[in-house]
Structure 1
């Protein structure tokens, strides 16, 4: 069972395991090379759509927004971005005026947002593909965060949930890591018992806002 931080970097390890006929189960992120027997992941496409709907409601379904993207090529960034793009397309009065990667990093989120705000001073919201970049965006916005500009994250991290509670972060899409781990072990058990693993196992994600954040903290 592998839980990669980098879909490219894990590839050589996965290929070595393939050569040794050892099945690989990827959790949360997959490998860009080699073959995995099963990919257990949060339903990032659905999460992206949920984020789009929640953010649209928060700004009255109109206005200019920014998108902070994760690590280019990673399955998490690709799927979250796809879901958000599909979801936000349902709101014709919302315009994505800029997209830029901040590599899932808080400091880069701060720097990228600072630069994008100079060119786009009238934005109403920011969607960040993880909480770390969202927290960086909040730093860049200062007093505007949660008031003039709504920020939405993804992951449901401890810091993200605190920011939701404080009113700085409009919301986040919470993953269920205990479920991810449990489903991965189930797939491993299926293989060890002589059966076959499911190729993809999506795990539901939950939209967290100020209304239900207490349930997750």
Structure 2
């Protein structure tokens, strides 16, 4: 009887040990796992472009895609189509996707502020590209020195017209830093010069069709024009169409050095264009975004070189 009780006691103790091990195992499986990084551990960068209906920004996007591929990161590109409301909505979508960094090429420097602030609240770093934002916290701004570029264009025009004549300025989208800065540089170069007058200064929104229409209207009201400075090549090419249709000889200087503009310069149709190197801007933006994602310090403003393109 005592032997039977001893065996029974040993069996009960063994069962208790097994139960304890089982409970311990279950508790271990319930411990929370570490959260995985978005995209399966891969860095994801968002790029909001003002419009892909402009060759300059297409080239910028391609530069960004090249750099992203080389760095082994994902790049999500969204096209605002020059619509400020759509750009804000696009950026909100990128925030919802929890991208690592957001690159923004603003359609409007003022209107984009709310989107920048939304990214700030979500603790997603923001980098502006080509055009600046008027507010919100931006880690770095990557662009050409647009003031310097505008001045280069103005000085070239003064040479072309021999320091005397009437000039037309075709402005970009009002509210963008690019339009503001290029205009400032241009006026720094030409204002106050004896014999030189800016006969007309009107917006054509960085658009070729609008550049054509605005230039047509200006030529109807003012026959005595010696040169045109357009804040980008699309407007310059539109202005060139209007000038060719009028049969006049007017020097046209653009900005961006798009393929169509460089071709027009080499053919002697356009006088010059300021090369802004959009592919390099896009590449630089992604490289800086990768550094930011890694927690590395970056410069608050990173300039990309400019050069004046004239006929070879």
Please identify runs of 4+ aligned residues in structure 1 that moved more than 6 A: none
CA gap 1:207/1:5 in 2 versus in 1, 3 angstroms: same
Cα displacement string for residues 118-169 of structure 1 (whole angstroms, at most 9, x for unaligned residues): 2221110010100111111111111667x72101100111111111122111
Once residues 195 and 301 of structure 2 are traced to their aligned partners in structure 1, the CA distance between those partners, rounded to angstroms, is 35
For 1:45, which of 147, 155, 164 is the aligned residue?
A: 147
Once residues 208 and 216 of structure 2 are traced to their aligned partners in structure 1, the CA distance between those partners, rounded to angstroms, is 12
Which runs of 5 or more residues in structure 2 are unaligned?
1-102
Once residues 169 and 158 of structure 2 are traced to their aligned partners in structure 1, the CA distance between those partners, rounded to angstroms, is 13
SS state at 1:197 partner: coil
Contact 2:212 2:238 in 1 (8 A): yes
Number of the residue aligned with 1:173: 274
- TM-score, normalised by the number of residues in structure 2: 0.63
Contact 1:188 1:197 in 2 (8 A): no
CA gap 1:58/1:144 in 2 versus in 1, 3 angstroms: farther
Number of the residue aligned with 1:80: 182
Which structure has the higher relative contact order (CA within 8 Å, separation 6+)?
1
SS state at 1:169 partner: coil
Deviates more, 1:6-15 or 1:199-208: 6-15
Name the one with the larger helix percent. Answer: 2
Contact 2:106 2:176 in 1 (8 A): no
For 1:155-194, what aligned pairs fall within 5 Å after superposition?
A: 155-194=256-295
Once residues 160 and 239 of structure 2 are traced to their aligned partners in structure 1, the CA distance between those partners, rounded to angstroms, is 17
